[in-house]
Amino acid sequence: MSSKSIIDRRRGPKIDVVTGLTKDDDVLVVGLIAPGTDDDRPDARPTLLLSDDLLDDAAADALDEALAALDASGKKGQTVTLPAPAGLPVRLVVAVGLGSVAESQDAENIREAAGNALRGLDGAGTVVSTLSVADLTAAAQGSYLGAYRFDEYRSTPPAKAAPAAVSLVVPQKTKQVKAELEQAVIIADAVALARDFVNTPPNDLYPGEFADRARAVGSAAGLTVEILDEKALEKGGYGGILGVGQGSSRPPRLVRLTYAPSSARSKVALVGKGVTFDTGGISIKPAAGMDHMTSDMGGAAAVIAATVAAARLHLDVAVTATVPMAENMPSDTAQRPGDVLRQYGGTTVEVLNTDAEGRLILADAIVRACEDAPDYLIDTATLTGAQMVALGTRTPGVLGTDEFRDRVARISQEVGERGWPMPMPSELRSDLDSRVADLANVTNHRWGGMLSATLFLREFVADGVGWAHVDVAGPAFNAGGPWGYTQKGGTGVPVRTLIAVLSDIAAAG
């Protein structure tokens, strides 16, 4: 996929709002709410989530009877597909369980239900969904991302394509409703853009090409773009980025994307790890699962996509993304365990393990980002396997300055990306002391690896900056089966968190 096609590619279906069904509609997606636990009637049935007057009484009763015959319970996560009963102007009905009344009001639950429905509708025509009756934004995002596919490298197109259009049922098509829908789709498309970056194989997405694609999407959104090549990096003293990239025949880059509305009162720096492939270098990784390291630029993908979205959403906050890009390869030119690097800004680091490379390129980028005197700095990276040991594969770890860390984690939970606040115990800091340099890039033990990696990064954050580090080593890439609106491969986490934090800062002034 070229730089141009990443702009032109349709990443999700066209999403619109409607007030009713038409004879041209193909599939109706309807939410199903489970009976309450206090309902002791033996014949208690789940409740259909419908807008007023969407179906007449006869059609609604026929659908209710058909679902009862198939034992549709409304249990969260259950999906039941059936031919449309007589009286409905559609071919199929997909009923998705929303759980209890309380669960049916949870935005993330609606997003996942919409995703579950759309993932199973390849080959369908126009889809109409009632999930928007509960939450328009969640239904739009779940539908868009549930229909996301990455088929760019298949030699023949899929026999059945994902739905090209989804209509969401609303009471009225007001300006406010249309504005909410537009915002929801912009955010979903940003998540899908990050997925595209992560899903592109590393033979095509190497540092130079990644930088070109970042320039393409940034320029299309009206961002100011600056790219430093290997010569500019050497002249500028970016020892961390150069050290990690020196083992590859494909040299590193540093990309800067700037969105600067004139009325912004706050300035936010975003930094994302962009290791386009990570072998571990001389400290080479085991072969099993190394193909997943195509996702080691998931943090970079997220901050590029979030900065583009900030511009498309016209957020009243200044945002600069500083994105280091390198390929970590073993070769006769690769850095060695025991080498000492001079990071941008002058700090020296002893490289004890070349597979702890992400923190080296992030350190350079953080120092550069802090030169812009931001009020806040968020860095995100697929940084440590210890994140998965501590929190699993779906929960990002959030660390940093206490107040901003907690703010980012709270917002992440609110948008459904589940970031969890973690500490930085002071006693771990001395384990980063080096025998010969200012710092070592790893400790001499395996305990608290996510925490000590963040303590390393803290050394490069300027005083007075509200800072959060988001470790997405597991959440950025789904190596298992699909669920909800999440396919296998790149997930786009933590794009929605970043956009929501930027929106929160903009609203606060």
Structure tokens at 362: 């992030």
**Is the sign of the CA dihedral 217, 220, 224, 230 positive or negative?**
positive
Closest C-alpha among 138, 135, 92 to residue 115: 138
pTM for this predicted structure:
0.96
Number of structural domains (the chain) is 2
Please tell me whether residues 153 and 238 are part of one structural domain.
Answer: no
Please tell me whether residues 240 and 383 are part of one structural domain.
Answer: yes
> What is the band of 40 on the pLDDT scale with cuts at 50, 70, 90?
low
Q: What is the pLDDT of residues 422-433, one digit of tens each?
A: 999 999 999 999
Identify whether the C-beta of residue 300 lies closer than 8 Å to the C-beta of residue 325. Answer: yes
Give 76's contacts (C-beta < 8 A, 6+ positions apart): 34, 97, 98, 99, 103, 109
Residue 146, domain member (yes or no): yes
Identify whether the C-beta of residue 3 lies closer than 8 Å to the C-beta of residue 154. Answer: no
pLDDT of residue 43: 60
d(CA 205, CA 186): 24
Characterise 53 by phi-psi region: left (phi > 0), alpha (psi -120 to 50), beta (else): left
Q: What CATH number corresponds to the domain at position 496?
A: 3.40.630.10
Assess whether pLDDT exceeds 80 at residue 323.
yes
Please tell me whether residues 387 and 266 are part of one structural domain.
Answer: yes
Please tell me whether residues 134 and 272 are part of one structural domain.
Answer: no
Query: What three-state secondary structure class fits 368?
Result: helix
pLDDT of residue 272: 98
Please tell me whether residues 371 and 223 are part of one structural domain.
Answer: yes
| Domain termination site, one of 143, 173, 203 | 173
Assess whether pLDDT exceeds 90 at residue 151.
yes
The stretch 222-234 carries a mean pLDDT of: 98
> What is the band of 368 on the pLDDT scale with cuts at 50, 70, 90?
very high
With a pLDDT cut of 70, the percent of the chain lying above it is: 97
Residue 38, domain member (yes or no): yes
Q: Tell me the catalytic residues.
A: 285, 359
* C-alpha separations of 7 from 3, 137, 182, 222, 336 in Å: 7, 23, 18, 13, 39
Average pLDDT of the chain to the nearest whole number = 95
Please tell me whether residues 230 and 151 are part of one structural domain.
Answer: no
Please tell me whether residues 26 and 102 are part of one structural domain.
Answer: yes
Residue 181, domain member (yes or no): no
Characterise 289 by phi-psi region: left (phi > 0), alpha (psi -120 to 50), beta (else): left
Residue 37, domain member (yes or no): yes
Q: What CATH number corresponds to the domain at position 35?
A: 3.40.220.10
Residue with the bigger pLDDT between 250 and 9: it is: 250
pLDDT of residue 158: 87
Structure tokens at 406: 């907690």
Q: What is the pLDDT of residues 308-320, one digit of tens each?
A: 999 999 999 999 9
d(CA 475, CA 491): 7
Please tell me whether residues 166 and 225 are part of one structural domain.
Answer: no
Give 97's contacts (C-beta < 8 A, 6+ positions apart): 32, 34, 46, 72, 73, 74, 75, 76, 77, 78, 79, 113
The stretch 439-462 carries a mean pLDDT of: 97
| Domain termination site, one of 142, 173, 204 | 173
Please tell me whether residues 154 and 238 are part of one structural domain.
Answer: no
Identify the domain containing residue 453 by its residue range: 218-336+353-429+444-508
Residue 437, domain member (yes or no): no
Cis peptide before 374 (omega within 30 of 0): no
Please tell me whether residues 233 and 323 are part of one structural domain.
Answer: yes
Please tell me whether residues 138 and 274 are part of one structural domain.
Answer: no
The stretch 135-159 carries a mean pLDDT of: 95
Assess whether pLDDT exceeds 60 at residue 42.
no
Phi, psi dihedral angles at 165 (to 5 degrees): -150, 140
Ranking 11-15, 279-283, 402-406 by mean pLDDT, the lowest is 11-15
DSSP string for 30-74? EEEEPPPTT---TT--PEEE--TTSS-HHHHHHHHHHHHHTT---
Residue 439, domain member (yes or no): no
d(CA 450, CA 390): 8
| Domain termination site, one of 173, 206, 227 | 173
DSSP string for 300-333? HHHHHHHHHHHHHTT-SSEEEEEEEEEEE--STT
Please tell me whether residues 270 and 407 are part of one structural domain.
Answer: yes
pLDDT of residue 9: 76
> What is the band of 475 on the pLDDT scale with cuts at 50, 70, 90?
very high
> What is the band of 157 on the pLDDT scale with cuts at 50, 70, 90?
confident
Query: What three-state secondary structure class fits 283?
Result: coil
Assess whether pLDDT exceeds 90 at residue 86.
no
